[in-house]
Amino acid sequence: EALNKQLDNLDGPARRLWTVIGLLLIHQRKELPATADRLYPFAPASENDIPLRILQRLAADLAIVNGENSRVLKKTELRALLRRISKTQDPKGMAMRVVGWVEEVQEQHRRDRVPGRILKNLQQSNRMIEKLETELLSGRERDQLLGEAAAIKSRLDALLSARSVAHQSQLQKRWRLGRWLSRLIGGV
């Protein structure tokens, strides 16, 4: 049932291909990690393009396409991938390969989302701090807030000094970060 639910979101050759992959994984489930049933195609993909990215990586791994690019796989490439998976002489190895790519693509997606989530959380924290009434804070709460803000500033300083941006000097970045944090902390 979990597989069918995910297949409903696909159509055409991709749907057929994921059906075959899903059945392969079901038949090989005793050989797979226990967590495989919590991965795509048995659990929802975190983004709509995850199934395509997994197929792209798998097609590149099996030398059906050259390299891992972001273009949509052609129908002929999807059919070649379908034939390769359907006619594999090593179902356990193929299932392990698929699970490996599913895990890698999903982990890469999580890593790619981290900066956006951090920025969103910082913006939310900034809005909450703007509403904070400093006279209601105890001395301990004030110290904890200042300590956390200093720790965040230190980590951001280290992050920004480790990466260079072509159009912005390190001093400019530090100054902007310092100004932002000063405004953030200044209200406390």
Instruction: Return the number of other C-beta atoms located less than 10 Å from residue 91's C-beta.
Output: 14
What the block records as the tokens of 83 is 């034939």
Q: How confident is the model at residue 145 (pLDDT cuts 50, 70, 90)?
A: confident
Query: Which has more confidence, 128 or 92?
Result: 92
- pLDDT value at position 168? 56
Mean pLDDT of 3-27: 86
* Phi and psi angles of residue 165, each rounded to the nearest 5 degrees, phi first: -115, 130
CB 177 within 8 A of CB 156: yes
What pLDDT, on a 0 to 100 scale, did the predictor assign at position 148? 86
Are 24 and 106 part of one and the same domain?
yes
> Could you count the other beta carbons within 10 Å of the beta carbon of residue 131?
7
Which domain covers residue 97, as residue numbers? 2-112
Domain contains 125:
no
CA distance 183 to 177: 10
* Cα→Cα distances 67→62, 70, 73, 146, 180, Å: 10, 10, 12, 48, 42
Residue pLDDT, tens place only, 72-88: 888 999 999 999 999 99
> How many domains is the chain partitioned into structurally?
2
Cis before 91 (ω within 30)? no
pLDDT per residue as tens digits for the range 107-142 = 887 877 777 777 788 888 888 888 888 888 888 988
Residue 156 or residue 26, greater confidence: 26
State residue 161's pLDDT score: 72
Q: Which of 78, 112, 146 is the last residue of a domain?
A: 112
Nearest to 108 by CA among 56, 166, 159: 56
Contact 64, 74 (CB under 8 A): no
In this structure, the answer to whether residues 17 and 49 fall within a common structural domain is yes
Question: What percent of the chain is modeled with pLDDT above 90?
Answer: 18
When the pLDDT of each residue in the chain is averaged and rounded to a whole number, the result is 82
Q: Which of these three, 79, 112, 145, is where a domain ends?
A: 112
In whole angstroms, how far apart are CA 66 and each of 60, 62, 142, 143?
6, 10, 57, 56
Q: Does 140 lie in the same domain as 88?
A: no
Residues 88 and 172 grouped into a single domain = no
Please indicate, yes or no, whether residues 9 and 100 belong to a single structural domain of this protein.
Answer: yes
Statement to judge: residues 159 and 83 lie in one domain: no
End-to-end CA distance of the chain: 53
d(CA 43, CA 2): 7
Q: Does residue 139 share a domain with residue 172?
A: yes
pLDDT value at 48 more than 80: no
